[in-house]
Amino acid sequence: MSPMLATLPDVTAVLHSPSASPPSGLRAPAAVGMGMARTRFLAPRAAASAASAVSAKPAAVAPLYADRTVVRIGLPSKGRMSEQTLSLLKSCQLSVRHLNPRQYTADIPQVPNLEVWFQRPKDIVRKLQSGDLDLGIVGFDIVSEYGQGSDDLVVVHDALEFGHCRLSLAVPKEGIFENINTLEDLANMPEWTQERPLRVVTGFGYLGEKFMRENGFNHVSFLAGDGALESYPAMGMADVIVDLVSSGTTLRENNLKEIDGGVVLESQATLVACRRSLHKRNGVLEITHEMLERLEAHLTATGEIMVTANMRGNSAEEVAERVLSQTSLCGLQGPTISPVYRSRDGKVAVEYYAINVVVPQKSLYKSIQQLRSIGGSGVLVTKLTYIFDEETPRWRKLLSELGL
């Protein structure tokens, strides 16, 4: 076990689970609070490190926390986040070289001192807490559920623009829930008593319990489930579910509905770091900075295009006035206008000006129309790959969070 692990708080899940088995480890006595029946399962501190010890083929003897010189990033090994994570990194010129799909390690040739470890999302969070990983890409839902607000974790980029979903409470459309449309309606139903609590099935025991408690539910019991939760109410195993929703199709197809006030958490993919590593491990801050810069530049450029056109005019200022009179042609910091030089009767003359302007892809056609209306011609459209700002706002924020 690495020395770091010994200093960690327990990772706990608060799920009352008659049918599903606890995550692992010891089962502590039931604790009852706020009228809720709840059982505390203590996940052993050793679990995460034991898993990491068996997961890797390469290192014969893994270095202790303090001796490790290489920086580690955890990426999701399976599920829908896995592919999208690799594709985002590729778009940032940070392609992951994964030689053997059965191997849990890989590298990113662009970043020499960085080791990639493919892990289950919840293990990424646990290992970031223990310091066995320094960086990780994982959904905010998993960070919140398994990190439980821990100070050991720092969210470096909170919006990687994939894996959008929400953790939401849903109830059956019919029967006693037919007229239940808000969280308040649900809390006020006379059916829920100490003897017959509202049965909630969820894979998010910590967040689910916290949400119900903070919303004044007095008689609730929780059931741990980790797949096809939408079937539980119809099978009579639970009254309501707290699960991830994206398009809403799974709920609809299973005769369930969301209710007002029932969103526990909005989520998307995030870049997360181990606070201790940011402070103490050589190279972590530099790699985080580089990744942040690339990610920000790529994500800012996504959906933006560069429009180039020629326009007749007497001066750059006169052309600028025409361009700026159009709402869709203002660009990021205004259009760039440069003279187009031509040779006429042996003399160099300027009749045209070239305009470069960055516009959102969704307003492409409007921009073209506006360009034409002010005399633009020869329009070229280019997709942008990166937009590097003077400074990355999230980097400033990170430094200030770290007190640097």
Smallest distance from ligand PRP to CB 243, Å: 5
Q: How many CA atoms lie within 13 A of 255 on its CB side?
A: 12
**Between 227 and 236, CB nearer to ligand PRP:** 227
Tell me how far, at minimum, the Cβ of 343 lies from ligand ATP, in Å.
58
SS (H, E, C) the chain: CCHHHHHCCCEEECCCCCCCCCCCCEECCCEEECCEEECCEEECCHHHHHHHHHHCCCCCCCCCHHHCCCEEEEEECCCHHHHHHHHHHHHCCCCCECCCCCCCEEECCCCCCEEEEEECHHHHHHHHHHCCCCEEEEEHHHHHHHHCCCCCEEEEECCCCCCCEEEEEEEECCHHHCCCCEHHHHHCCCCCCCCCCEEEEECCHHHHHHHHHHCCCCCEEEEECCCCHHHCCCCCCCCEEEEEECCCHHHHHCCEEEEEEEEEEEECEEEEEEHHHHHHCCCHHHHHHHHHHHHHHHHHHCCEEEEEEEEECCCHHHHHHHHHCCHHHCCCCCCEEEEEEEEECCEEEEEEEEEEEEEEHHHHHHHHHHHHHCCEEEEEEEECCCCCCCCCHHHHHHHHHCCC
| CA-based torsion, 186, 189, 193, 195: positive or negative | negative
Give CA angle at 194 (39, 232), nearest 5°.
Answer: 65
Contacting residue, 94, 244, 371, 398, with ligand PRP by CB under 6 A: 244
- Answer yes or no whether residue 246 interacts with ligand PRP by CB under 6 A: yes
- In the complex, minimum distance from the CB of residue 141 to ligand PRP, in angstroms, rounded to a whole number: 10
- Closer residue to ligand ATP, CB minimum distance, 35 or 248: 248
Using CB under 6 A as the binding rule, whether residue 234 contacts ligand PRP is answered as: no
Q: Given candidates 31, 59, 64, 228, which one binds ligand PRP under the rule CB under 6 A? A: 228
Least distance to ligand PRP from the beta carbon of 234, Å? 14
CA dist 76 and 96 (Å) reads 13
Q: Are 335 and 357 in contact (CB under 8 A)?
A: yes
Q: Which residues bind ligand ATP (CB under 6 A)?
A: 78-81, 121, 139, 141-142, 163-165, 244, 246, 267
Task: Check: CB of residue 251 under 8 Å from CB of residue 257.
Answer: yes
Residue 245 engages ligand PRP in binding (rule: CB under 6 A): yes
228 binds, among ligand PRP, ligand ATP, none (CB under 5 to 8 A by kind): ligand PRP
- Tell the smallest beta-carbon distance from residue 301 to ligand PRP (Å): 27
Closer CB to ligand ATP, 43 or 186, in the complex: 43
Q: Does residue number 100 form part of the binding site for ligand PRP (CB under 6 A)?
A: no
Closer by beta carbon to ligand ATP, 97 or else 252? 252
- Binder of residue 249, out of ligand ATP, ligand PRP, none (CB less than 5 to 8 A by kind): ligand PRP
- CB 121 to ligand PRP: min, Å: 11
Q: Cβ 206 to ligand PRP, closest distance in Å? A: 17
The mark string for 249-288 relative to ligand PRP (x by CB under 6 A, - otherwise) is xx--------------------------------------
243 binds, among ligand PRP, ligand ATP, none (CB under 5 to 8 A by kind): ligand PRP
Per-residue mark of binding to ligand PRP, 168-207 (x: CB under 6 A): ----------------------------------------
How many of the chain's residues bind ligand PRP (CB under 6 A)? 11
d(CA 387, CA 360): 13
The nearest distance, CB 47 to ligand PRP, in angstroms, is 21
Which of the listed partners (ligand PRP, ligand ATP, none) does 248 bind, with a CB threshold of 5 to 8 Å by partner kind?
Answer: ligand PRP
When CB distances are held under 5 to 8 angstroms depending on the partner's kind, the choice from ligand ATP, ligand PRP, none that residue 152 binds is: none
Q: Does 398 bind ligand PRP (CB under 6 A)?
A: no
Judged by beta carbon, residue 86 or residue 323, the one nearer ligand ATP is: 86
CB nearer to ligand ATP: pick between 226 and 391: 226
Handedness of CA 215, 217, 222, 225 (dihedral sign): negative
- Contacts with ligand PRP by CB under 6 A lie at 227-228, 230, 243-250
